[in-house]
């Protein structure tokens, strides 16, 4: 476990607008800019933050994306030839960047007060091919999945504002036995563990989409295909 959430400061805040991206020029807002000063936040996310693919991104359960800057050094070491992409926060499309907590320190349903907003951890970020395309490392999205260095999402329980320098204050932890790293393990390491899937499907605070995914695996006894998400629409 890393630092207590109450010790963790938001080091930077990022938003982006959709622009043409990828081999087909489809819109994406993965390229984000650091914002100084207060940023308004409501159930749709941060003001000024858009989504090119509203089917797979955005929505109330994916309103705010958090990625630990702690992981960036790991990526620089693993891919030194692409290290320039892992120097500054924002590469992974995150809205919030911190140092001091990672996926093993944050649990499903955690409620945090940040500035005048109240956020709740809602789901694991499932990496996609756009990360790979950004840095020219074809297997990056797959490696994000394999390593569990995925990041996570929040839903917004109370609208307000936040800014870089605000402290994350843990207000509630209903599922201390379900850190994000455990959800990631069920998703990718033991994807047909029926006991774990039943428990995951019963987590009321987990996003409906990831609970439904667990239920589908229980019903079908099969794991959904990952290649299109990880390697792009051409796969």
- Give exposure, 128-161, as e/b (b: 16+ Cβ within 10 Å): bbbbbbbbebeebbbbbbebbbbbbbbbbeeebb
Tokens at residue 54, please? Answer: 């509203």
**Predicted pLDDT of residue 1:** 45
pLDDT in tens, 145-204: 999 999 999 999 999 999 999 999 999 999 999 999 999 999 999 999 999 999 999 999
Give 54's pLDDT tier (boundaries 50, 70, 90). Answer: low
pLDDT in tens, 91-128: 999 999 999 999 999 999 999 999 999 999 999 999 99
Can you give the C-alpha Rg of the chain in angstroms?
Answer: 17
**Predicted pLDDT of residue 159:** 98
Q: What is the dihedral of CA 164, 183, 220, 62, to 10 degrees?
A: -10
Give 2's pLDDT tier (boundaries 50, 70, 90). Answer: very low
**Residues 121-136: what's their mean pLDDT?**
96
Which phi and psi (to 5°) does residue 95 adopt? -90, -35
Q: In the chain, what are the domains?
A: 5-176 (2.40.33.20)
């Amino acid at each position: 476990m890393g630092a207590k959430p109450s010790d963790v400061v938001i080091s930077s805040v990022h938003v982006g607008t959709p622009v043409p991206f990828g081999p087909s020029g489809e819109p994406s807002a993965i390229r984000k800019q650091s914002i100084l000063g207060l940023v308004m936040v409501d159930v749709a996310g941060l003001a000024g933050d858009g989504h090119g693919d509203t089917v797979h991104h955005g929505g109330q359960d994916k309103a705010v994306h958090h990625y630990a800057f702690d992981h960036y050094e790991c990526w620089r070491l693993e891919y030194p030839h692409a290290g320039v992409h892992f120097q500054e926060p924002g590469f992974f499309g995150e809205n919030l960047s911190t140092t001091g907590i990672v996926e093993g320190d944050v649990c499903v349903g955690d409620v945090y007060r940040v500035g005048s907003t109240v956020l709740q951890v809602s789901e694991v970020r499932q990496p996609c091919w756009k990360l790979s395309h950004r840095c020219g490392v074809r297997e990056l999205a797959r490696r994000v999945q394999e390593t569990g260095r995925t990041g996570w999402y929040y839903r917004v329980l109370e609208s307000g504002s936040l800014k870089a320098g605000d402290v994350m204050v843990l207000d509630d932890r209903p599922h201390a036995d379900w850190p994000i790293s455990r959800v990631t393990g069920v998703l990718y390491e033991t994807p047909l563990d029926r006991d774990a899937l039943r428990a995951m499907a019963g987590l009321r605070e987990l996003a409906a989409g990831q609970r439904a995914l667990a239920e589908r695996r229980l019903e079908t006894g099969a794991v959904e295909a990952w290649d299109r998400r990880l390697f792009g629409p051409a796969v």
